Amino acid sequence: MGNSVSSDAPAASAVPGWPSHLDLRSTASQRRPRCRGLDTTFIECRVIRNPTDPAADSILRLSPFVAMRYGDETVPDIGAVTSPPYDVMDRAMIESLLNNHPRNIVRLILPRLVADPMTGEDPYQRAAKLLERWRAERVLVTEDAPALYVYEYGDARHHVCGLVGALGLRDYSDRVVLPHEDVIDGIVDDRLAMLTAQGANLEPIMLVYDGQGETAEIFDRARARPPLIDVSAADQTFHRLWAIDDPADLRRVADHLAPRQALIADGHHRYAAYLRNRDRHHASGEQSGPWEAGLALLVDQSQCPLQVGPIHRAIADVTLAELLSTAGDVGGIELGEVVALDGSLPQPSSRRGSFVVTEGERHATFSYATEACGTMSDAQVLHDVLIPALRIGEDRVSYHHTVDQALSAAHQQGGVAVLMQPAGTAEVMSVAQAGLMMPRKSTSFGPKPRMGVVMRHLDDDAAMNLNAAPQRRGGDG
């Protein structure tokens, strides 16, 4: 039946900068409360944790790994087989990627959406078999030795340069790897099913930290060499990759990262899947193995500031008129005039606590009284106030990275699109600093890396006894 898309895809940025010298420590528990209100004032403090802390043994660790990449001989144009992250693609994008190249990574990272529904075969197992076949046929090849990788990507306007490695998994309570958003269990289950079936990390998560440029010289020396990969992707972005395997450089990177913290910028669901996979192994009595780490791209925000963009919503099975009628009876909600779009693309509101709701031909503004917003984020106002007041279940809400995608989903589902403005960078940091959670899908950090540039198969690391759990120092239990 070919590689047709069989179901709806899961549901990419403009406030620059990341204030340096943050200490994001907290005594919050691993399952942290959602933030109902917080002070977004930036407080300057240190990013380095106290090495005498009892939990200082839980360090930020990015280890060399055995890279798996597309083979140059079997796939001459590697750019053609890469894709955006799984959660920013819609059905049209997936179809375009598959039509452009049958070996696109999307066949492995979105198995439910490219599986033939007539076979009845489990899509995750089908993708796992495809992965092993591609490895056997050298569509995907494995490097001879472990390394870290400098990954540079971008376009004429913006570029990112970070370090790809095997991130040592840390519970949130360790205050080493910091989330700022809640997750959707169904998406975590999907990523976990893919991970366990394939035994591979195909999609590096992205984290940011304040490294103050201390490893820039290592990056510069690596980038002075010819890259292992230098390709252009379908979206006109460039992607380059260099290996770092010199023991002295690896030790400098390890020492540099050890006392620091990193914030998950993109990949909360994948990191949650990493943790659940690790915990399954622990529950079965396996205390050490390659599943103690997960593939990650770590970006020094002081050198390559990421941007924060919005994630829009679509609400199924409701008309704009119905929402207006219901909202008119809810105290605290201010309704703007219904305006015809006349073919123009609607844009998010710039006012806090205000949302543009549209069904494609008309739009209206729904606003929560400014004095009632307090310090709540816009996503909190929407999910904790407006959606419950309008008697809409969360199961009818989907998430989309572009206005076009949100409008398309609203049209297909007989509903409306809700256009969001991006959260502020200081707001995201205040959430992490307080040990709280923003509502799921509140932020979209970017530019995002392409999937398929560099990957990690757990069997390859296991064969070299990499990523085994390090011995803990005395006093930790």
Encode the chain (477 residues) as per-residue pLDDT tens digits.
Answer: 444 444 333 333 222 222 222 222 222 333 333 333 323 222 222 233 443 343 445 799 999 999 999 999 999 999 999 999 998 888 888 999 999 999 999 999 999 888 666 677 899 999 999 999 999 999 999 999 999 999 999 998 889 999 999 999 999 999 999 998 889 899 999 999 999 999 999 999 999 998 989 999 999 999 999 999 999 998 899 999 999 999 999 999 999 999 999 999 999 999 999 999 999 999 999 988 999 999 999 999 888 888 777 888 899 998 888 888 887 777 777 888 888 888 788 888 877 778 889 988 898 888 876 655 555 677 777 788 778 877 888 888 888 878 888 898 899 989 999 898 877 666 776 777 667 777 777 777 778 899 999 999 999 999 988 765 443 333 333
Give the angle 65-296-109 at the CA atoms, nearest 5°.
95
Task: Give alpha helix (H) positions in 137-246.
Answer: 185-198, 216-223
Closest CA to 252 of 297, 221, 289, 292: 221
Strand pairing of 262-266 and 177-178? parallel
Tokens representing 342? Answer: 């006349």
Task: Give alpha helix (H) positions in 142-199.
Answer: 185-198
Q: Which amino acid is at 432?
A: A
Q: Which amino acid is at 319?
A: T
- 3-class SS of residue 124: helix
d(CA 400, CA 170): 29
Give the angle 315-320-325 at the CA atoms, nearest 5°.
110
By the 10 Å C-beta count (0-12 exposed, 13-18 middle, 19+ buried), 136 is classed as exposed
Q: Which amino acid is at 151?
A: Y
Instruction: Report yes or no: 26 and 433 within 8 Å, Cβ to Cβ.
Output: yes
Residue 133: the pLDDT is: 97
Instruction: Report yes or no: 60 and 215 within 8 Å, Cβ to Cβ.
Output: no
pTM of the predicted protein model = 0.76
d(CA 447, CA 354): 26
Give the angle 89-209-477 at the CA atoms, nearest 5°.
105
Q: Which amino acid is at 391?
A: R
Task: Give alpha helix (H) positions in 68-184.
Answer: 91-100, 106-109, 111-114, 123-136
d(CA 260, CA 24): 10
What is the DSSP secondary structure assignment for residue 385, as one 8-state letter? I
Give the angle 38-421-204 at the CA atoms, nearest 5°.
85
Longest dimension (CA), the chain: 69
185-198 vs 123-136: helix axis angle to the nearest 10?
40
Q: Which amino acid is at 446?
A: G
Residue 117: the pLDDT is: 66
